């Protein structure tokens, strides 16, 4: 199961820039029953590995905007540290609920803004967006793909391929830092991570080869619809578990 998940998720990451955290973390919780904190750390490192494979392809094609990338990384990297530390102080069930609501919100915003590219270049404004994305990434492993791409579409004049390439590069930087912090804190399931990588590396290669040949915008639209359903299910399950745990704790008193 983790190998197949790794392959499918990596293909979507390579084609759309979305999925490293938005797909990996909730699917690990829902399908494998892993603790949310382990899922976040595992998803961050998995996302970093996949992006190491995919980003060079976009760089060779000149589809990474270095100026925009620097603005986002400058504030995003400190944000990841804050988000990772925040993760340690939130009840397990609430982490899943917050993650699910975040994914639903991001997906709906992307659906609303789908296909719209601004006619004005406001690249310096990306620095203000990078920090909250970093916090969200460090806390939930999600955000760099969905929110980052939305920010690039809204504040720059980049085309779809350049948006994906720049967003993947931004996500790579955040994943490396966030994954490293979570690994140091022991919040990584190494056996599951290796299986994800076994499927993820070939998936990233396949996705990179298909990039530019398949309609990335249509795939992104379909992915966002799927994320709404996955996020809603994760929130419902986590809130139900939290309620059950609260009732059980009250009964013991």
More confident residue, 18 or 47: 47
Gap between the Cα atoms of 44 and 216, Å rounded = 23
Asked if the model's pLDDT at residue 115 lies above 90, the reply is no
Look at residue 188 and give its three-state secondary structure. coil
Give the number of domains in the chain. 1
Phi, psi angle pair for 121, to nearest 5°? -95, 110
Q: What is the mean pLDDT of residues 10-22?
A: 72
Question: d(Cα 141, Cα 74) in Å, to the nearest integer?
Answer: 18
Q: Which of 70, 69, 9 is nearest to 193 (CA)?
A: 9
- Each residue's pLDDT tens digit, 153-210: 777 888 777 888 888 899 888 888 888 887 887 778 889 999 999 998 888 888 777 7
Q: Where are the alpha helices (DSSP H) in 61-215?
A: 66-87, 92-112, 126-140, 146-155, 160-184, 190-210
Contact 142, 22 (CB under 8 A): yes
Give the domain range for residue 70: 2-252
Predicted model pTM? 0.74
Phi-psi region of 212 (alpha: psi -120 to 50; beta: other; left: phi over 0): left
In sequence order, which residues have a C-beta less than 8 Å from that of residue 190 and are 6 or more positions away? Answer: none
**Alpha carbons 24 and 4: distance in angstroms, whole number:** 12
pLDDT for 128-149, tens place per residue?
888 888 887 777 776 666 677 7
- Report whether pLDDT(89) > 80: no
Neighbour tally for 118: CB within 10 Å:
13
Of 140, 212, 213, 74, nearest to 66 (Cα)?
Answer: 74
| Contact residues for 131 (Cβ-Cβ < 8 A; gap 6+) | 75, 76, 78, 79
Centroid of chain to Cα 5: 15
The alpha carbons of the chain give a radius of gyration, in whole angstroms, of 17
Inter-axis angle of helices 160-184 and 2-16, to 10 degrees? 140
């Amino acid at each position: 199961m983790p190998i197949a998940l790794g392959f499918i998720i990596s293909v979507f990451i390579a084609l759309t820039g979305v999925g490293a955290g938005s797909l990996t973390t909730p699917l690990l919780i829902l399908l494998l029953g892993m603790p949310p904190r382990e899922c976040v750390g595992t998803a961050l490192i998995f996302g970093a590995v996949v992006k190491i494979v995919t980003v060079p392809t976009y760089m060779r094609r000149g589809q990474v905007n270095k100026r925009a990338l620097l603005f986002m990384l400058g504030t995003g990297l400190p944000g990841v540290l804050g988000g990772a530390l925040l993760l340690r102080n939130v009840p397990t069930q609430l982490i899943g609920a917050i993650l699910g609501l975040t994914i639903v919100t991001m997906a709906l915003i992307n659906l609303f803004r789908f296909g719209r590219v601004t006619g004005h270049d406001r690249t310096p404004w990306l620095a203000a967006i990078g920090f909250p994305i970093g916090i969200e990434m460090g806390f939930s492993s999600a955000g760099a793909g969905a929110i980052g791409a939305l920010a690039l579409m809204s504040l720059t004049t980049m085309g779809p391929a350049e948006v994906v390439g720049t967003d993947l590069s931004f996500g790579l930087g955040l994943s490396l830092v966030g994954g490293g912090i979570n690994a140091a804190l022991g919040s990584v399931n190494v056996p599951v991570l290796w299986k994800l990588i076994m499927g993820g590396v070939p998936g990233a290669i396949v996705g990179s080869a298909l990039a530019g040949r398949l309609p990335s915008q249509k795939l992104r639209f379909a992915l966002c619809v799927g994320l709404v359903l996955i996020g809603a299910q994760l929130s419902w399950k986590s809130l139900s578990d939290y309620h059950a745990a609260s009732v059980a704790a009250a009964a013991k008193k």
